[in-house]
Amino acid sequence: MIPITFSRRDNSLLGRWWWTVDRLAISLLLILIVIGVFLSFAASPSVAERLNLGTFFFVKRHIIMIIPAVAVMIGVSLFSPIGVRRLSLLIYLLGIILLILTFIFGVEVKGARRWLMILGNSIQASEFVKPALTVITAWLIAEKMHDEKFPGITLSMVAVGIIIGLLLLQPDLGMTVVIVATWVGQLFIAGLPIFWMAGLAGIAIAGLVGAYWLLPHVTKRIDQFLDPSAGDPIHDLYQITKSLAAFANGGFFGKGPGEGVIKKNVPDAHADFVFAVAGEEFGLWMCIIIVALFMAIIIRFMMRATKGSSLFILLSTTGLAVQFGLQAFINMASTLHLIPTKGMTMPFISYGGSSMVALAICTGMLLALTRKRHGFQDWEE
């Protein structure tokens, strides 16, 4: 736990924040960030050297991005629930503009146009839209439950539909799946009739089938996952083959810090495949610790969400927590070849500038929404 440094009589903004925020959740998140720095030293140097950059190029940039990320997380956690809603609406609207600009000025990588170059940094707008959209849909659904005449479900469907349409044009099926899964989960918690849930599930399945037939890169990845012999082991399956070899080479105790060999041949060892580096150098026990940390963070936020009297708090917190955990799961499952390979970072552990700041906004919102609020202020302050 973080040491207590504020008096209970301190009525300053930070003083009130300290005694109302979930300090255990902050501690777990900071531990995750420290592990990310630790693994950056293990995974990044070989990638930097291969790209003819300084040995610690990515390590330095990773550490530098932690400073604004932690500042953003703490800053957002100071917001009231109403403030979180307003911030989410602002991010959502700006995100739509950035997603549209991506089609005009975006950088194309491996056939996908998802990134904008701003001030020398690549920014993936969908990373920022994702938590904002979750809060907006939570508010719309909660308003529908309070007032049946309010078209909350319809409006949430429109809000989600706009983002999904823009994402599929990039294309980015993985992010689309995360957003849809989060939204459907919110509808389920809100008590949407099972008939409607079944209908949404049918639409989701039809969408995945359509993506398989209409998007060549999706077809290729799924075919290679179901039948590895269908892909070129040197090009198509190179990353996942090396990733699995790294886990096997590490065993339970790992090879030791800096002793990994296979990691040097994994192209994205510092980003999408950092979990494989953890497995090779530190072994299965480190992987278990990382999984346990993510589980503890998600469960902690879920427990805090149930203590509020507001449906909006419940829906937004559970949605953000599930989204946070789902991103970690997709990264780990891809690295272990449990699902088709998807380029998605592991929260606070993988290298990534805009991704880390976007995750800081997500966790900042979680901390803000789960703060204790006493007396007449309650949860809707």
pLDDT in tens, 297-353: 999 999 888 876 688 999 999 999 999 999 999 999 988 888 887 778 889 998 877
pLDDT-derived band at 245, boundaries 50, 70, 90: confident
pLDDT-derived band at 1, boundaries 50, 70, 90: very low
pLDDT-derived band at 211, boundaries 50, 70, 90: confident
Helix count (H) and strand count (E) of the chain? 14, 3
The larger pLDDT score, comparing residue 41 to residue 3, is at 41
Model pLDDT, residue 105: 80
pLDDT-derived band at 11, boundaries 50, 70, 90: low
Model pLDDT, residue 310: 85
Please state which of the ranges 3-12, 167-176, 188-197 shows the lowest mean pLDDT: 3-12
Model pLDDT, residue 163: 93
Asked if residue 375 has pLDDT above 60, the reply is no
Give the rounded distance of the alpha carbon of 128 from its chain centre: 10
237 φ/ψ angles, rounded to the nearest 5 degrees: -110, 15
pLDDT-derived band at 123, boundaries 50, 70, 90: confident
Model pLDDT, residue 232: 57
Residue 113 DSSP SS3: strand
Q: What is the dihedral of CA 238, 239, 242, 244, to 10 degrees?
A: -120
Mean pLDDT score, 245-271: 80
> What are the pLDDT digits (tens) for 40-53?
888 888 888 787 78
Give the rounded distance of the alpha carbon of 161 from its chain centre: 20
Model pLDDT, residue 14: 74
Average pLDDT, the chain: 83
pLDDT-derived band at 112, boundaries 50, 70, 90: low
Cα angle 308, 313, 317; round to 5: 110
